[in-house]
Homo-oligomer: A and B are copies of this chain.
């Protein structure tokens, strides 16, 4: 059977494990943010990301062009999470027939905008009829030297890009029927795939990378499972988006598309300053890699219970 990168516990991951067992020899190794395959002279990274209206977003929250940007960014973030250079994008759309062609064109223009922002083109896709909007974005990148989620070493330190919780804050506002704060809305509508940041971190010696699509708690658990280590995170160190006033939101907020990165301890102390200068973005040390398994959250050196992250099932 093809090797599957170890995944954390949970019903979503039971499903993925069942799939890879059933595929047997017909599957290639998987379980990272991207599939990594050799095609001729290139190492190619591929990933897909599907979003269903009414489950992953509501059409009324965003303009069509923002919907497209967001869907594209979510998929491109998976390329960032292995430090790949995005090359092209395919988009499959299930559309309600009543949607005017201008909406569809705007949505795809949004995908084109975010692809171009990281050096990729829209190569094609499929348009079919549906009874609600479904957007599946497939991204293809090239990568000479991928940084996987399997490489964290005991003694490494854990860092996170940006400030967390904005998307969760925006969603909570919409669900309460109010318009989110502008900056939180912006974090949801226009996430930036951290492609340049990931390459920079790779060049600084990053041993493991993962994007925070499922939220810091869940994705740190994945990194720990994949690397066969224990991640210890100081919840008081986790940087919060300015609109976020509680730590739980920052820990659980999914759809972040920031990066969690493991770096050797000697990367300090100038790293964050140089990163900020280069990328206009914060890089914050939030924890360490220890021997053991799973994720431990601490506050003042004492263990604390994790909040629930977003679950796909």
Binding site for B on A (CB under 8 A): 2, 12, 14-16, 18-19, 21-28, 30, 34-35, 37, 39-42, 44, 46-52, 54-56, 87-88, 90-95, 97, 101-102, 104-106, 108-109, 112-113, 115-116, 121-131, 134, 136, 138, 140, 142, 312-313
Task: Tell whether A126 pairs with B46 under 8 Å between CB atoms, given A23-B112, A138-B138.
Answer: no
Shortest beta-carbon distance, A46 to chain B, in Å?
6
Shortest beta-carbon distance, A226 to chain B, in Å?
15
Q: With a 10 A CB-CB cut-off, give which of A27, A55, A105, A136 has the most chain B CB atoms.
A: A136
Of the candidates B12, B26, B46, B127, the one whose C-beta lies within 8 Å of that of A12 is B127
Complex contacts, A87 vs chain B, CB 8 Å:
37, 39
Instruction: Please determine whether A40 and B39 come into contact, CB atoms closer than 8 angstroms.
Output: yes
Write the chain B residue with the least CB distance to A68. B22
Shortest beta-carbon distance, A59 to chain B, in Å?
15
Instruction: Please determine whether A123 and B35 come into contact, CB atoms closer than 8 angstroms.
Output: yes
With A22-B109, A50-B126 already in contact, 12 other A-B pairs whose C-beta atoms are closer than 8 Å: A15-B104, A15-B127, A22-B106, A22-B108, A23-B122, A40-B41, A41-B41, A46-B138, A48-B91, A48-B124, A129-B312, A138-B138
